[in-house]
């Protein structure tokens, strides 16, 4: 059970209610993570703004979900693994691609390079080397796309840490970092 109160579109008030109602209207349901973030409307609004801005970037929805999966696996975030496994399937990832993404492997060399770079960002806490950048560039990513990979890692680290720290109730089919396959 969550360590924080979980609001929804009917129990929240003020700015949190407005944000949660918008999420409910868009998705047709309330989400536990958003409901816990609603304890601070600026946290929820910040997450929604960052996530929304990145969704308009150059990276495909599939690659964004694959980055979320490898990040959640590395950070042991069962909520995010569960959510992004489900969302990944909605954007076209099959079961094998979901599992391989968690391991840092893509269906193409280019996707694998992006996931390997995302893991390097995580492993080095952002202190990637010139050779790390050269490798992802050689796979065909522009500096703008690389910036987006870094930003997606950062966004997902935020949600991973938030969900782990507050023990958000999982409201997707459950997936555990300790079980791959």
For 21-35, the DSSP string reads HHHHHHHSS--HHHH
Structural domain including 25 reads 14-55
pLDDT for res 47:
98
Instruction: Look at residue 2 and tell me if it is in a domain.
Output: no
pTM: 0.96
- What pLDDT is recorded for position 10? 96
26-30, 37-41, 133-137: lowest mean pLDDT where? 26-30
Whether 112 and 134 share a structural domain? yes
Q: Residue 180: what pLDDT?
A: 83
> Is residue 181's pLDDT more than 90?
no
Q: What is the pLDDT of residue 171?
A: 95
The pLDDT value given to residue 1 = 85
Listing DSSP states for the chain in one string gives --SS----TTT--HHHHHHHHHHHHHHSS--HHHHHHTTSHHHHHHHHHHHHHHHTSSS-HHHHHHHHHHHHHHHT-HHHHHHHHHHHHHTT--HHHHHHHHHT--SSHHHHHHHHHHHHHHHTTT---HHHHHHHHHTT--HHHHHHHHHHHHHHHHHHHHHHHHTPPP-SS---TT---
70 has pLDDT over 80: yes
Give residue-wise pLDDT tens across range 100-122: 999 999 999 999 999 999 999 99
How many CB atoms lie under 10 A from the CB of residue 6? 22
Q: Check whether residue 81 and residue 161 sit in a common domain.
A: yes
Alpha-carbon distance values, 50 to 2, 80, 145, 153, 155 (Å): 24, 16, 16, 12, 7
Together in a domain, 98 and 68? yes
Are 91 and 69 part of one and the same domain? yes
Share of the chain above pLDDT 70, in %: 99
In this prediction, residues 44-69 reach a mean pLDDT of: 98
**Residue 60: which of 103, 15, 97 has the closest Cα?**
97
Q: Does 80 share its domain with 158?
A: yes
What CATH number should be reported for the domain holding residue 72?
1.20.1290.10
The answer on pLDDT for 87 being more than 80 is yes
Distance CA 119, CA 21 (A): 35
Q: Please state the domain count of the chain.
A: 2
pLDDT tens-digit profile of 130-158? 999 999 999 999 999 999 999 999 999 99
């Amino acid at each position: 059970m969550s360590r924080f109160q979980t609001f929804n579109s009917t129990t929240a008030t003020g700015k949190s209610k407005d944000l949660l109602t918008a999420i409910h209207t868009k998705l047709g349901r309330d989400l536990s993570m958003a409901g816990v973030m609603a304890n601070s409307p600026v946290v929820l609004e910040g997450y929604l703004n960052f996530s929304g801005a990145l969704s308009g970037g150059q990276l495909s929805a599939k690659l964004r979900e694959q980055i979320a999966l490898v990040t959640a696996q590395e950070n042991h975030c069962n909520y995010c693994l569960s959510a992004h496994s489900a969302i990944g399937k909605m954007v076209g990832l099959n079961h094998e691609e979901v599992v391989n993404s968690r391991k840092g492997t893509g269906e193409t060399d280019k996707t694998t390079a992006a996931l390997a770079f995302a893991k390097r960002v995580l492993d080095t806490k952002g202190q990637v080397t010139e050779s790390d950048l050269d490798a992802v560039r050689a796979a065909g990513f522009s500096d703008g796309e690389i910036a987006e990979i870094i930003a997606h890692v950062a966004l997902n680290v935020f949600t991973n840490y938030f969900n782990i720290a507050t023990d958000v109730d999982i409201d997707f089919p459950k997936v555990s970092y300790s079980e791959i396959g």
